Amino acid sequence: MGRGEELSDFQRGRVVGCHLAKKSVREISALLKMPRSTVGHVIRRWKHEGITTALPRSGRPHKLKEEDRQVLEKMALKNCPTSVEALTAEFQSVSGARVSTKTVRRKQHEMGLRGRLSTHTKPKGGDAEPHGRRAV
């Protein structure tokens, strides 16, 4: 099972606040609509370590900031039939960020853009039968 979204500092503070107000883990879970295991983990960590914030993760930071990713997405959707090399050159001139074509291709793939065609477009040939069935 994959991990869910990380809790914000505010959400962790609410859990600890409810705990200090003498609410049970089950009550806090129902009140804040969080799994009981998450509530229990936040409370245990607060009791043992005094920490309610998420610690920084290890690893290399992302090359593109969120703003750069949004610019790239707009450019890719606007200029859908362009090559990755042309898109990379245009992106570098607009944003000033130095990125490789491999990074641009990876980000396009994460955004759901495969090759030169967007997965957001409808498939051509609308006369096909649904579910692959042919008329007899």
Q: What are phi and psi of 105, to 5 degrees?
A: -65, -40
- Percent of the chain, pLDDT > 90? 33
pTM > 0.75: no
Q: In the predicted model, what is the mean pLDDT of residues 119-127?
A: 49
Does the pLDDT of residue 1 top 80, yes or no? no
Residue with the bigger pLDDT between 61 and 81: it is 61
Report the mean per-residue pLDDT for the chain.
82
User: For the chain, which residues make up each domain, given as ranges?
Assistant: 9-49, 66-118
The four Cα atoms 40, 45, 47, 48 give a dihedral, to 10 degrees, of: 130
In terms of average pLDDT, the best of 2-11, 22-31, 72-81, 97-106 is 22-31
pLDDT at 11: 95
Q: What pLDDT does 122 receive?
A: 43
For residue 131, give the DSSP letter: G
Q: How far apart are CA 136 and CA 133, in angstroms?
A: 9
